[in-house]
Structure 1
């Protein structure tokens, strides 16, 4: 029920609702100090309605309320700083550029999906690339209405990418040129595909 409410709020851009969305994306520096950047980033993604996977090969976590128990069991200790975030799947999640500051201090993130994130803007991609651009292997961006060529070009600064999938991004202009730019800036073996917004 809470997940549906978050998705519903994220679909709208009214001032009062925007405030609620930003509260989901607030960064608590003391919390990060207490539990580590990876756990704090995972909490943020789950709070916004997404899912995460850690570096132990176990199934993804979708339930915010049980994150503490599951991560403690996986790390074999209650010091959650010893686990590392590997995957973030934010599908119809209320993530914003402000929330992307949670990527600061995350060191082993490999895969990111932002799909149907109606409030994610170019600044969020900038923060993502600045903080985890050297470790990302796959990035998928789909149906994010505020992403533009300017933000997507920043993916060209990621040094370890092997796959970029861009789909249904209504503000992207000249798809062919964008894909060519990314291919020329990314590692030679990186697969870059783009599909314009469906009419």
Structure 2
């Protein structure tokens, strides 16, 4: 369940960090090389100092219900969803409808997420600044060529890498 009062109290980046780390994901902040993985070790400091730049959700339990935490994030340039058993088309649709991510997200990798289908991948066409999309081991993708063509037409600057065989 999304704690909107917490988002109000600590800001979107801190609240999203807490949710992502509790779910087993990693975050990297703008201006930092190191990935944050320890919930107890979350950096403190002035509100708004730490802006999430990258999310690595490998083997995390993030799911649609928590995606409201992503709404206020303005600096996320890359997301990796790998072996996320709760990620499905609705999550990708929600991701692509997030106004801030439409502007900031440049790289997205979706790997071994068994519940993702062509419908979810096609929904990513709303991520207008997306420069790189890597798709691998997605058994739900049934119309690889058609899906790729739709994305390439909608996002002509997109570098699309498919490893779906």
Q: Same fold (TM over 0.5)?
A: yes
Do the aligned partners of 1:179 and 1:193 also contact (CA within 8 Å) in 2?
A: no
Distance 1:154 1:63 in 2: 32
Larger Rg: 1
Q: Which runs of 5+ in 1 are unaligned?
A: 1-25, 73-77
2-structure distance, mates of 1:58, 1:152: 29
Alignment pair present for 1:160 and 2:129: yes
Q: Which runs of 4+ in 1 moved over 6 A?
A: none
Question: How far does residue 97 in structure 1 lie from its aligned partner after superposition?
Answer: 1.1
User: Does the 8 Å contact 2:76/2:105 carry over to 1?
Assistant: yes
Structure 1 residue 58: deviation in Å?
3.2
- RMSD (Å), alpha carbons: 1.2
TM-score (norm 1): 0.78
**Gaps (5+ residues) in structure 2?**
none
Asked if 1:57 corresponds to 2:26, the answer is no
Partner of residue 62, structure 2? 95
Which of 7, 16, 30 is the matching residue for 2:5?
30
Q: Please state whether the residue corresponding to 2:79 is helix, strand or coil.
A: strand
Q: Does the 8 Å CA contact 1:97/1:122 hold for their aligned counterparts?
A: no
Please report how far the alpha carbon of residue 133 of structure 1 lies from its aligned counterpart in structure 2 after TM superposition: 1.9
Provide the C-alpha distance between the structure 1 equivalents of 2:118 and 2:28, rounded to a whole number of angstroms: 29
Name the structure with the higher helix share: 1
Q: Name the counterpart of 1:185.
A: 154
Aligned to 2:163: 195
Matched residue SS, 2:110: strand
* 1:20-70 CA distance string (max 9 Å, x none): xxxxxx211111011111111111111111100111233110111111xx2
The total of aligned residue pairs comes to 163
Distance 1:181 1:42 in 2: 33
TM-score under structure 2 length normalisation: 0.93
Counterpart of 2:75 (choices 108, 115, 133) is 108
